[in-house]
Copies of this chain bind each other. A is one copy, B any other.
Amino acid sequence: MKALEDKICAEGEVLPGNILKVGSFLNHQVDVDFVMEMGREIAKLFADGGVTKILTIETSGIAVAMAAAAALHVPMVFAKKHRTGNLSGEFYTAVVHSYTHGTDYHVVVSRDYLCPQDRVLLVDDFLANGRALEGLMEIAAQAGAEVVGAACAIEKGFQHGGDRLRAQGVRVESLAIVESMDENGLTFR
């Protein structure tokens, strides 16, 4: 999505530790008109997927997921982060390793909101090492739901999570794939 690449170049900031800061439009302040356009783009890419539900993780995936769900006219479910997986049997749970924080966290979804009839599209703001998406795939598997694919706003191609998921046969569509970045600028795949 050329408009997203342009916006990343205009407003994104590359910080030490492979961080791409896009808080001006994606995950702190949200340029809602622009993110709704991203949602329509995701809906176009998966128009033939028979998607019944969008699944994302709190917090920063919610805006893009909401936009995609609005364009596809399906409900959106956001997995909640918990410090512990010790919950009652009412939840699907998975463990996700955060490289940024060097810790594991649990993601949980109520059993009421995913079922075997669901065709699930995973949505997130960033795709780096792919651990968050793998957690969501684990949750969809526990529900017996089919994963149609994954749509991300920004993929960090140099962290190879997207490539690994594609090699596993998952349909991964990213609206912008950053191939490399440093203080001098970015290149896109």
Contact = CB atoms under 8 A, between A and B. Distances in A.
Interface in A14-53: 23-25, 28-33, 35-36
Contacts of A66: 30, 32, 35, 62-63, 66-67
Contacts of A188: none
A82 interface: no
A21 to B, nearest CB: 10
Q: In the assembly, how many copies of this chain are there? A: 2
Interface in A40-78: 54, 58-59, 62-63, 66-67, 69-70, 73-78
A32 B70 contact: yes
A111 to B, nearest CB: 11
Interface residues of A, number: 31
Contact of A31 (B29, B36, B75, B78): B75
Contact of A113 (B24, B69, B70, B113): B24
A29 B59 contact: no
A70 B112 contact: no
Q: Closest 4 interchain pairs by CB?
A: A32-B69, A29-B113, A58-B59, A29-B77
Contact of A70 (B33, B76, B78): B33
Contacts of A76: 29-30, 32, 63
